[in-house]
A = this chain, B = another copy of it.
Amino acid sequence: MQRHLDEELAALKHKLLKMSALAEAMIVDAVAVLVDKNEAALPHVARSEEEVNGLQVEIDENCLTLIALHQPAAFDLRFILGAAKTNAELERLADQAVNICDKAKKLLHEPPIKPFVIIPKMAAVALSMLKDSLHAYVNLDANQARTVLLRDDQVDEMKAQVTENMLAIMDTQRAAIKQAVSLILIARNLERIGDHATNIAENAIFVLEGRDIRHHHMEEKK
């Protein structure tokens, strides 16, 4: 029996929100492994990654089936294609949490070369971007989507600051080099989480306004 398109779309939204909640928890856990040396969080991240990968395949299939069965026009078609793209962003975003874990794991038994200040802040901003971008997508809220775009620069600046701080530390502490490089790379992982959230927010605006704002939001920010 073919359910009504609206019901199917509600189920699709629900799956995207579930995937996003998993990804959020993965990021929180990854940062806990790094900052609090919380080794116990590692298996959670691994389990969530599997779940995220399963959901990705499922959502992609749902999108295909929805288009094939309902042949939706204009708005709904944009929404479904946007959902498929958002799906891909979420999976990659979750991968970044796994990458952070891989590096944090190697630092578990090393004392931090410097108290963690910027990285937890970066993570908090990236998490807020993720939450808001998903909310904007499923609730079709263009204003909220635009607030996500504005935070992308903050994350980029914090990444630049981490890189600068780490280069300064490496310059004087030879023993800190390996850890400093890991932290530069972790800051990049967090930056990429912000990028993926930005892409999701752009997807929301595309669905709503039918125009492609990629490669243009730099101007919008001004």
Residues of A within 8 A of B (CB): 53, 56-57, 60-61, 63-64, 67-68, 71, 73-74, 77-78, 81, 84-85, 88, 163, 167, 170-171, 174, 177-178, 181, 184-185, 188, 212, 214-215
The distance in angstroms between the C-alpha atoms of A60 and B188, with both chains bound, is 28
Q: Which residues on the B side are within 8 Å of A212 (C-beta)?
A: 57, 60-61
Known: A56-B215, A84-B85, A163-B181. 17 other contacts (CB 8 A): A53-B214, A56-B214, A57-B212, A57-B215, A63-B81, A67-B67, A67-B81, A68-B73, A68-B74, A81-B84, A85-B88, A88-B88, A167-B178, A167-B181, A170-B170, A177-B177, A184-B185
- By secondary structure, the A interface counts as helix
| Neighbouring B residues of A174 by C-beta, 8 Å | 171, 174
